[in-house]
Amino acid sequence: MKTFLLFLICLSNSLIGQRSHSETAVQIKNNGLEELYAFEMLKDLTGNIGNRLSGSKNYDKAVEWGKLILEKAGADSVWLEPVMIPHWVRGNEQAFLSLLDKRKIELSVCALGGSIGTAKNGVSAEVIEVKSFEEVKQLGRKAKGKIIFYNRPFDRTNWSPFQAYGGAVNQRTNGAIEAAKVGAIAVLVRSITPAMDDEPHTGAMRYADSIPQIPAVAISTVDAEMLSMELHKHNVSSVHILLSCKTYPDVASFNVIGEICGAEKPEEIVLVGGHLDSWDKGTGAHDDGSGVVQSVEVIRLIKNLKIHPKRTIRAVLFANEENGLKGGRAYAARESNKKEKHIAAIESDAGGTSPRGFGVSSDSLKVEKIKSYSSLLEIVGAEKINKGGGGADISTLESLGTTMIGLNPDPQRYFDYHHSNNDTIDKVHPRELELGAIAMAILAWAISQDGL
């Protein structure tokens, strides 16, 4: 009888616990959807500051903005964490296609992030189209003095644009290295997007120490198709590329951090975050303005309800995800020396569209525990929990044993906008953006109460 009574007490406690989680979840949802404040913040960030490339004046402004907006959201404490970040400046960029039929066509291009510039008058050369590094290798001496044109498109048959991106992006990141190995003088890279548009999509590229550095530009998918067609007609004379981009010495900057201090176990941290920097195209509305304002909104929603998490909920707006990951690395390096324990980190860096769920990188027990919150997340359509996921910034916390969680929004349109002038606020829907913030707040709240 005694055991049975104890069982009943435990059962009712756990039911009350569950009920209080779901009551809180509904309150968070109602408050978020009533106010749609994440979108107000995103309007402010993209409208008054714009894009935020590492090392730029706009990034400095974004740091000030981040500090103020976290204070306004009601964070118990807000601080700036110093970090050295790269400083690459785009400058002028131009490319022309000269055809044997005497036409000269301006190509829609932009320098890839980190590229060196060309000589003052640019470079001109014949163009060779390839779809893989294997083809580049096979070119051997034929590539000497030429421009290599990488034109492998997104695999449209893949349901997941993120996987398709993964299958195409090495042309952008490593294309210059592979082309320089066989003596090419520059690379043109088909924009890494499934969209057929006339905007070049930028992104990070790299060089290798022992290989000559050559200029690298992205070309719009429309112009990539056109160039490919002219090459197949044997109508191309040459392409001329002029870039004045340049890398300057690293500059001192900051991650921006704000938190709600845990009432019972303040040293245990549930992190929510996104990256404050963006490329210098569009206004970085989806990438990653969305993740930034959603992380701040988590703090605001919980403070608004006047509820106190048992563990600390901390929002981190990371510096320099796009071309260095210096913010994430500096954060993890400092944390490894502290007594704090990051039990979970939730990153939003996949756009501000409707949330579908979360991807979780941890042991099976913890993945199952997160899966048990599906019923709470259902109210915003974010109940799908998959094993595997996270984000670039929080990947630095892996060695600290942190459970890494990535918000998974609907992925179909993200790469249409990604790293291009198309990434602007008009592509973000206020309700969809808010639903993502609400999903993050519900999950962060549940973990902060129950531990992991």
Give the DSSP letter string of 73-120.
Answer: TT-SEEEEEEEEEEEEE---EEEEEEETTS-EEE--EEEPBTPPP--T
Please say which residue, 287 or 416, places its beta carbon nearer to Zn ion.
287
Min dist CB 281 to Zn ion, Å, is 13
Please say which residue, 286 or 300, places its beta carbon nearer to Zn ion.
286
The one catalytic residue in 321, 322, 347, 434 is 321
321 is catalytic: yes
Min dist CB 277 to Zn ion, Å, is 9
Query: Omega before 288 cis (within 30°)?
Result: yes
Min dist CB 312 to Zn ion, Å, is 25
Please say which residue, 278 or 312, places its beta carbon nearer to Zn ion.
278
Residue 171 · residue 150 · CB < 8 Å: yes
Please say which residue, 96 or 162, places its beta carbon nearer to Zn ion.
162
The DSSP code for 1 is -
Tell me which residues touch Zn ion (CB under 5 A): 287-288, 349
Residue 150 · residue 189 · CB < 8 Å: yes
CB 367: neighbour CB atoms within 10 A? 19
C-alpha closest to that of 243 among 271, 272, 279, 214: 214
Q: How far apart are the first and last CA of the chain?
A: 33
- Tell me which H or E stretch contains 297: helix 291-304
Helix (H/G/I), strand (E/B), else coil: 238:
strand
Min dist CB 322 to Zn ion, Å, is 6
Residue owning tokens 């563990």: 311
Please say which residue, 367 or 440, places its beta carbon nearer to Zn ion.
440
Min dist CB 330 to Zn ion, Å, is 17
Which residue numbers are catalytic? 321
